[in-house]
Structure 1
Amino acid sequence: MSVTFRAWLAVLALVGYFVLLGALVGACLWMIFEQKGALAIVFGGAVLLSALLSIDPAAARRARYRAHGAYVTRTSQPELWRVVDELAEAARTRTPDEIVIVAEANAMVWEETRLLGLRQGFRHLAIGLPLLAGLSVNELRAVIGHELGHFSHGHTKMAALTYRATMAMRTTAEDTSGSPVGWLFRGYSRLYLMFAGSVNRAQELEADAAAVRAAGKTATQSGFRKIPALVKAWQDYTETYFELLPYADRTPALLEGFRDYLADPVRAEEFVLDQARLLDAQPRSRFDSHPPMRDRLEAVDQLDVDDHPVDDRPATALLADPEKTVPRLEIALVPDDLGPRASWAEIVEIAGASVAAEKAAILGVHSGPPADAINAVSADHDRDTLVDLVENAMVHVLVRDGLAKHELNWSGPWRVRMINGELFDVTELVAEVVDDPAELPEARQWFTGLVASLQASRVMSTVTSNAVASPPE
């Protein structure tokens, strides 16, 4: 069965939606004007309103299409817009009306369509900030070229309509979920998606071909492999490190930090492994609009298209003056009450000290000997939490006295480094004390000796520095 024939079937199903809608509207009007009861009027009116809103659900919630992000103009980012114009021309479609940088590891083109996709509308292009950090110029060209390829005039008109209608149907199913007849529209939407699924999967392959024309086979394949891995890496980056921000009252360098995260040897190895592992992790369903990624990569490999010149520059090269532009873009992506901009190293140092002080205070509220405090806290916390509290109480003393500080570690949790250059890791010692508070005197003696040694080391370092700075005449 050809894609064109399937597209016509999907369009007929779309027409059937309006037939169903007309029948429902007619039934509601009959109920309101013929039955004339209060219940009939209220019920019929509610159903009628839901039905009418389903024709253009976007009109009911237009603000939802205003993506949260940094909007870039042709004046501020001429090179980025020039590339998008070029890619749109190559895909034989019109350029998006606006470009927005968003805090998601994805790129997307969408339209504010009318009448379930029958009428075209305002077109948006969203580019994820993580893509600017993790992709090359050619790879980003491939990703954007693919997204624009969905709206290509190279598709049959019916196939292009099917794609727009699919997006509109998904929105309709969401927007009518709480209406009296939401179940009816959701059911019909699922039926339509079954008809449209095979058409959309064929369109994905055509959009992949548009990506190849935009950037070449090599960049298309590498860019497609990286996207799922970037999604996973961005999620870990935000979940692991963004929780520090409230403790530091500082605004981070999002893109620079994510680029450093990806460059860390441990994270870089994970990223390469994830690219291979996530190829086969996609669920399969008759409602899927995408073929399996491995099938798409194989199809790209079979295309008879000359490869493009290599452009391995970071995707940020498409931005005008990235050092000044990126911080301005990031202002729109983070809450405006985080405080002044700071490096991640500074954020970790400030947040680490704050967290250590907070956890030390939990032990400090208990009066009496330290062993009694440990026993009192253990009644409210499990063993691992108690070990963490005691260890942070020790860290707090060192940080407070200027004998240690928290250190950024992109490979995992932060580290505490003492002024002698050694890492402070006493988890095993603290665990022994928690398990047997009788060990506390010996542990306290060891810690007191450590503090004295570090203080002496600092004094010696200060004396030496002063001597070097002011040599005898």
Structure 2
Amino acid sequence: MVLRPPRLFERTILAIALIVSFYAFVLIVSGGLFYISYLIFSWAHNGLLLAKVGLPCIAIGGTILWSAIPRFGRFLPPGLRLTQEKHPKLFEQIASVAQAVNQRPPKEVYLIPNVNAWVGERGGIMGIGSRRIMGIGMPLLQTLSVSEFRAVLAHEFGHYYGGDTKLTPWIYKTRTSIARTIQSLEEGILHIVFQVYGKLFLRITHAISRYQEYVADEVAARVESAQALASGLQKIHAASLAYNPFWQNEFLPALNAGYLPPYAEGFKCFMSNDNIHNAMMTSVEKELAATSTSPYDTHPSLRERLQALGSNLILEEEIPAITLLDEIPLVEKELFVALNEEAGKNLQVVHWASIGESVYLPMWKGMEKRYKSILEGIALADIPDIAGAPREFIRKIELVENRQLSVNSGYLYAKQIIAAAISVKLVHKGWCISAMPGEAVKLTNQDNEFEPFKAINDLFEKKITIVAWREMCQQAGIYEMVLGNQ
């Protein structure tokens, strides 16, 4: 049994007062503008005054009133709805933690494509008759152990127990109403007044949000483990840093090409890369060294949360939380069908080992074909000259594109085109593609390996010398190779 936290009542009253005060302020301002218009129309007989003051007052008052009205959108499922019948182990953990926090389990649980977990309420009127929902990120399950995941669940149930899920939607609606009002007003005294009020509202409500996080952390520490939550928070911070590059650079190209490689396994592979892992740990260390939180942050800093928990321990690897899901390949397919039914149904399931041939090679061939006229006859021995003075090569690219490129875009195009052409040529000669998540694209044969995209980038950026380039190509047996002559 978890006791109610101190200051909960005061926090609730403050949040409600802020919300009510904004709408009261809107009514007072718009009502005042309407009243000024009424007086002018009733008593003034000056057409110029009516046109310059009366009508604008009506227009501004109406704009403020319309902008401030809360919008109530239709709930759209954020991912794949999970069921207890298909995933009993996951729901057993949810029910167990809910009981420990003395809260009702959510009516709906969704699997989502984020390193995140959240809770909310949907439906009903003013919170009455609403249903509880929960979102659980599949990458989150891949990142955490079962004990860490239970601590995160307890944190989320802490938001239910603290009443946050009833207050937060209204705070968010009010926040967006303020933003709409500010955006709708032209520069002037009212614009400044609402802007000042909006900043004050953000500072106070974000301070409330940070307090809510502390309370939810305290709940998790009491019913589960401060160590498990601290470990989970650090892993979530690190994984969040890695997720967007994984999604943009590794997973999304496969999706766009109509393929579905193992999602959770790919993210795990990406994070296990030494360079990625070191960058993640460096980010955690920087966050732990941060000394302050912005008044506009919705969450306390990682350092502040760990200090409040009294732990910064990262637990040893235990049972991965992803094992709480059954039939993971099927679940991943169902997830992407739920996110986009038409595209998801047509996704072809492949392993990561096949991504190079399935996804990248067609892209490279298309690039090589498009720029064949400017690639024909270029030997690998000539490429250092192009890298040293690329302007002429970029000009040829611009002629093909029929547009001028910025300096950065020109360099990027040149590097990508040359590396793609080398890759196509090597594949034509029997080399195999390796494009595992987090790893540089490699082409290998029985005796050699070559990383064309990394090598070309290093050459253009002068990270390797002409001599090093020649030795690298000679070692791979490709120095005399000429592009375009298939």
- TM-score bin, normalised by smaller chain: 0.7 to 0.9
Match of 1:56 in 2: 70
* Whole-Å separation in 2 of the counterparts to 1:35 and 1:194: 39
Match of 2:318 in 1: 312
After superposition, the Cα gap between the structure-2 partners of 1:177 and 1:133, relative to the gap in structure 1 and judged at 3 Å, is: farther
Match of 1:454 in 2: none
After superposition, the Cα gap between the structure-2 partners of 1:140 and 1:388, relative to the gap in structure 1 and judged at 3 Å, is: same
* Whole-Å separation in 2 of the counterparts to 1:421 and 1:379: 37
* Whole-Å separation in 1 of the counterparts to 2:249 and 2:272: 16
Match of 1:380 in 2: 396
Single out whichever of 214-223 and 353-362 deviates more from structure 2: 353-362
DSSP 3-state at the match of 2:118: strand
Q: Please state if 1:136 is matched with 2:145.
A: yes
Single out whichever of 348-357 and 74-83 deviates more from structure 2: 74-83
**Among 327, 350, 353, which residue is 2:333 paired with?**
327
After superposition, the Cα gap between the structure-2 partners of 1:67 and 1:25, relative to the gap in structure 1 and judged at 3 Å, is: farther
* Whole-Å separation in 2 of the counterparts to 1:41 and 1:86: 62
**Among 442, 445, 449, which residue is 1:423 paired with?**
449
Q: Please state if 1:201 is matched with 2:201.
A: no
* Whole-Å separation in 1 of the counterparts to 2:55 and 2:37: 5
* Whole-Å separation in 2 of the counterparts to 1:315 and 1:103: 15
After superposition, the Cα gap between the structure-2 partners of 1:183 and 1:412, relative to the gap in structure 1 and judged at 3 Å, is: farther
Shift, 1:297, TM fit: 1.1
Q: Please state if 1:262 is matched with 2:288.
A: no
* Whole-Å separation in 2 of the counterparts to 1:301 and 1:131: 23
After superposition, the Cα gap between the structure-2 partners of 1:253 and 1:47, relative to the gap in structure 1 and judged at 3 Å, is: farther
Shift, 1:108, TM fit: 1.7
- Cα deviation digits, residues 357-406 of structure 1 (max 9, x gap): 233224422598558998974533557754653443333223134x1121
* Whole-Å separation in 1 of the counterparts to 2:239 and 2:459: 38
* Whole-Å separation in 1 of the counterparts to 2:362 and 2:69: 53
DSSP 3-state at the match of 1:100: strand
* Whole-Å separation in 2 of the counterparts to 1:368 and 1:227: 48
Q: Please state if 1:95 is matched with 2:105.
A: yes
* Whole-Å separation in 1 of the counterparts to 2:292 and 2:129: 31
DSSP 3-state at the match of 1:144: helix
Equivalent residues in 2 for 1:118-197 (5 A)?
A: 121-152=130-161, 155=162, 163=168, 165-176=170-181, 178-180=183-185, 187-197=196-206
- Cα deviation digits, residues 70-114 of structure 1 (max 9, x gap): 122344434433433333343344433422222222112233589
* Whole-Å separation in 2 of the counterparts to 1:392 and 1:313: 41
Shift, 1:339, TM fit: 3.6
Letter in 1 for 2:65: A
Which 5+ residue runs of structure 2 have no aligned equivalent? 1-5, 42-49, 398-409
* Whole-Å separation in 2 of the counterparts to 1:337 and 1:264: 31
DSSP 3-state at the match of 1:192: helix
Contact 1:251/1:342 (<8 A) preserved: yes
CA RMSD in angstroms comes to: 4.4
After superposition, the Cα gap between the structure-2 partners of 1:123 and 1:52, relative to the gap in structure 1 and judged at 3 Å, is: farther
DSSP 3-state at the match of 2:222: helix
**Among 20, 25, 41, which residue is 1:20 paired with?**
25
Match of 2:405 in 1: none
Letter in 2 for 1:327: K
- Cα deviation digits, residues 41-89 of structure 1 (max 9, x gap): 78637744753663533x2xx13x4253212234443443343333334
Match of 2:299 in 1: 290
After superposition, the Cα gap between the structure-2 partners of 1:108 and 1:183, relative to the gap in structure 1 and judged at 3 Å, is: farther
- Return the TM-score normalized by structure 2: 0.72
Single out whichever of 227-236 and 353-362 deviates more from structure 2: 353-362
Shift, 1:189, TM fit: 4.0
After superposition, the Cα gap between the structure-2 partners of 1:395 and 1:251, relative to the gap in structure 1 and judged at 3 Å, is: same
Contact 1:96/1:125 (<8 A) preserved: yes
Contact 1:111/1:123 (<8 A) preserved: yes
Contact 1:10/1:192 (<8 A) preserved: no
**Among 352, 356, 359, which residue is 2:364 paired with?**
356
DSSP 3-state at the match of 2:443: strand
* Whole-Å separation in 2 of the counterparts to 1:339 and 1:296: 41
- Cα deviation digits, residues 399-457 of structure 1 (max 9, x gap): 134x1121024343211112x2410357479989xx9xxx9xx99xx749779xxxxxx
After superposition, the Cα gap between the structure-2 partners of 1:330 and 1:294, relative to the gap in structure 1 and judged at 3 Å, is: same
After superposition, the Cα gap between the structure-2 partners of 1:368 and 1:380, relative to the gap in structure 1 and judged at 3 Å, is: closer
* Whole-Å separation in 2 of the counterparts to 1:425 and 1:447: 12
Contact 1:24/1:51 (<8 A) preserved: no
**Among 65, 76, 84, which residue is 1:66 paired with?**
76
Which 5+ residue runs of structure 1 have no aligned equivalent? 452-473
Shift, 1:315, TM fit: 1.4
After superposition, the Cα gap between the structure-2 partners of 1:313 and 1:387, relative to the gap in structure 1 and judged at 3 Å, is: closer
Contact 1:250/1:341 (<8 A) preserved: yes
After superposition, the Cα gap between the structure-2 partners of 1:109 and 1:408, relative to the gap in structure 1 and judged at 3 Å, is: same
DSSP 3-state at the match of 1:274: helix
Match of 2:435 in 1: 408
